[in-house]
Structure 1
């Protein structure tokens, strides 16, 4: 069965570029992003891992732990990370400070449904499929909140993944949802479950009614920041 939104992210143990891990112990009570790439030492993957490494602070500031995966062994990961560090301009400690799973036997890839069944050229020397570019956003309860799957030929947009995390975290704290093309600081939508006196209680007079079912209000985190600086 394919993993769906709301499922509990399966636990596993694996060797990684940072040593052996148990996924549940690594994640603990944090948000997490598990993302796969087809192969080490490939062009699109190298740009992606560089982008993630340079965005590590953005993820950390949101309490998000990163963990990558590909169908290579640890030695391959360790050598490839040197190329990524050179590309990102690292001068000393590696910019890739998150683990990359060595999933040569495809055990984790199979568990999470990450294998490529479409592109018959995306296989290793034995004809075994590589992983596609999958992304799982997992919350502190280990619930899967987002899944994305990109073809091997297309690099991911990591600012979009950060945008989704901002939306999910804001929605978990406040009775809101976010509209199309929303970015942090933009107006949000009052959750449909908020009705009657609860609207005034939660949002005061800061509600713009377009339709009875579409009501906008300011980003609650922006209002909190403004009140805090007053």
Structure 2
């Protein structure tokens, strides 16, 4: 019988709210089992198409240079590409020798494409053998909270990755939502009322910046 499977359905595509698929893998920091990795911390896991390539080098360098900002947000980094551990180590050392930048976070050696397939990092219409530039934001409960996908020829925006991570954490802590382009220190959106009593309380609240009853902002108190 002819195989009529759509190539776009060939690999799993985890969704926001799913538990992050578990795996064991060899990395530049040793073997890890993801379900046991970084307890109590957020994880940003990101894939790149290949070692020793120009766009990937700029991106990995960006993650490395701003690792302190991820540390400050209680977040661990994990990279991935469909390369061997020896290629990863050679690339890390090559970049360190040429630029002084050290990729001091685990990079998964995914030669069998096991993890890439689990996370939908292989997009057949883009490439069957190279992972696209995916970014998974995973909370301490191992839930996927945000997913970004970029094509092979466009690098990611590190400012946006950090902004989104900060927004997720602040939203969780204060039970609020974030408006367009939100950055730390700016007003946040208060969830809309769900009853008449809440609506009347909202209308009477003079501490809120109200566009209308359903859209109100406030400043967060530290």
TM-score (norm 2): 0.87
CA distance 1:73–1:211, shift in 2 (3 Å):
same
Secondary structure at 1:27 match in 2: coil
CA distance 1:208–1:105, shift in 2 (3 Å):
same
Instruction: Using the TM superposition, give the Cα deviation of residue 56 of structure 1 relative to its aligned residue in structure 2, in angstroms.
Output: 0.2
Secondary structure at 1:135 match in 2: strand
CA distance 1:67–1:19, shift in 2 (3 Å):
same
Equivalent-residue separation in structure 1 for 2:147 and 2:174 (angstroms)? 23
Instruction: Using the TM superposition, give the Cα deviation of residue 169 of structure 1 relative to its aligned residue in structure 2, in angstroms.
Output: 0.6
Equivalent-residue separation in structure 1 for 2:201 and 2:169 (angstroms)? 21
Runs of 4+ in 1 over 2 A off after TM superposition: 83-90, 193-200
2:60 to 43, 49, 53: 49
Equivalent-residue separation in structure 2 for 1:136 and 1:188 (angstroms)? 24
Alignment correspondent of 1:211: 212
Alignment correspondent of 2:131: 131
Instruction: Using the TM superposition, give the Cα deviation of residue 89 of structure 1 relative to its aligned residue in structure 2, in angstroms.
Output: 2.6
Preserved CA contact (<8 Å) 2:193 2:199: no
Deviations, residues 19-65 of structure 1 (Å, cap 9, x unaligned): 11111212322100110000000000000000000010000000001
Instruction: Using the TM superposition, give the Cα deviation of residue 172 of structure 1 relative to its aligned residue in structure 2, in angstroms.
Output: 0.6
Preserved CA contact (<8 Å) 2:193 2:214: no
TM-score (norm 1): 0.84
Residues matched between the structures, number: 207
Secondary structure at 2:27 match in 1: coil
Equivalent-residue separation in structure 1 for 2:70 and 2:111 (angstroms)? 27
Instruction: Using the TM superposition, give the Cα deviation of residue 158 of structure 1 relative to its aligned residue in structure 2, in angstroms.
Output: 1.4
Unpaired runs of 5+ residues, structure 1, are 123-127, 225-230
CA distance 1:168–1:71, shift in 2 (3 Å):
same
1:144 and 2:144 are equivalent in the alignment: yes
1:151-166 to structure 2, matched below 5 A, reads 151-166=151-166
Deviations, residues 66-106 of structure 1 (Å, cap 9, x unaligned): 0000000111000101233245434xxxx321100000110
Equivalent-residue separation in structure 1 for 2:202 and 2:35 (angstroms)? 38
CA distance 1:154–1:67, shift in 2 (3 Å):
same
Alignment correspondent of 2:70: 59
Instruction: Using the TM superposition, give the Cα deviation of residue 197 of structure 1 relative to its aligned residue in structure 2, in angstroms.
Output: 7.8
Preserved CA contact (<8 Å) 1:49 1:84: no
CA distance 1:206–1:87, shift in 2 (3 Å):
farther
Preserved CA contact (<8 Å) 2:42 2:140: yes
